[in-house]
Amino acid sequence: MPHLDENAIRTHPLCGPLDRMPAEYRGPRRLGRDGWLNFVQRLGRGEEIDLVRAATAGGRRILDVGGGTGELTRAVAAESGRCTTVEPHRDRVATLHLATEAEGAGVIEAFPGRAESLPFPDASFDVVFSTWVLPFVDDLQRSVREMARVCDLSDPGARILLIGGAPDNELINILNEVCAPIAGEPYDHHGFLLVTAAEILAEEGFRRFALQRTESALHFPEISLEERIDAACTVLVDFWYEGHPRAADMRSALRPAVRGHFERRPHAIGDQGTVLVARPGAPS
């Protein structure tokens, strides 16, 4: 696969929609605990997990920025023997430590911390990956520069892998179309996050890029259509807007869009991703 430069990333269809590219970062999205847990309990990430395992294979010192549930951290550790992760929520850090007790899980080293200030010396890792984290950081540029700082530019296998929402992401598009206007918020554009990350990484010496697409989905196994609609409206609104004063209005407004979606895809709402891989050197 030929490598792209940062200019090609900016105009690439996988970083779209290009006609809605914002001029600046909208700021972090805040997740509520219950909304996030209900979301991840329904999320199937099989293809994404396989892709990340393959993309990090061969790494000797691997860092996961934003361990979350630990699903990817555990998969990478099982494949490579060891994975380090940084997670801002201390209860999740404790859970990630327990994963090291499972037979065949590999070694997981979990540290409390944030993407903006990674608790490691320069060039500590040859592989750094961060999935679905950029929409939630306080300082986008500083977070990406920190990932570049701790990745060993001199290592021949050095790479940084980031995942954000694809232009056809069903979940993000529904929320953007229905809920963001009710909340008075701007369009949530994940392609902008990846484009910005690519420009920063290029400044830091990572100038060979590749883009791929991956599939994940929220699953709604309820038999009744009405139960599926109720569940989906609750999960989607609480994922982005748990505790929002207009959450009930959002759930009501979502019903026609969710009903129409389930007519086409009865038991799932896609969470499709764009995968950006950056390596040192000039594009070929």
CB hemisphere CA count around 20 (13 angstroms): 16
Domain boundaries defined on the chain? 6-20+28-279
Q: Which CATH class is domain 6-20+28-279?
A: alpha beta
Contact between 130 and 65 (Cβ < 8 Å) = yes
Alpha helix (H) residue ranges in 222-246: 225-241
Distance CA 117, CA 142 (A): 8
Residues whose CB is less than 8 angstroms from the CB of residue 91 and which lie 6 or more positions away in sequence, other chains included: none
Closest CA to 14 of 159, 131, 168, 127: 168
Q: Locate 280 and state its tokens.
A: 């040192």
Query: How much is the pLDDT for 97?
Result: 52
pLDDT per position in the chain (284 positions), as tens?
568 989 999 999 999 999 999 999 999 998 888 999 999 999 999 999 999 999 999 999 999 999 888 899 999 999 999 999 998 876 655 555 555 555 566 889 999 999 999 999 999 999 999 999 999 999 999 999 999 999 999 999 999 999 999 999 999 999 999 999 999 999 999 999 999 999 999 999 999 999 999 999 999 999 999 999 999 999 999 999 999 999 999 999 999 999 999 999 999 999 999 999 999 987 76
Distance CA 185, CA 180 (A): 5
Query: How much is the pLDDT for 192?
Result: 98
Closest CA to 108 of 135, 85, 129: 85
For 239-278, letters b (16+ CB in 10 Å) and e give bbbbebeebeebbebbeebbeebbeeeeebbbbbbbbbbb
Kind of pairing between the strands at 82-87 and 62-65? parallel
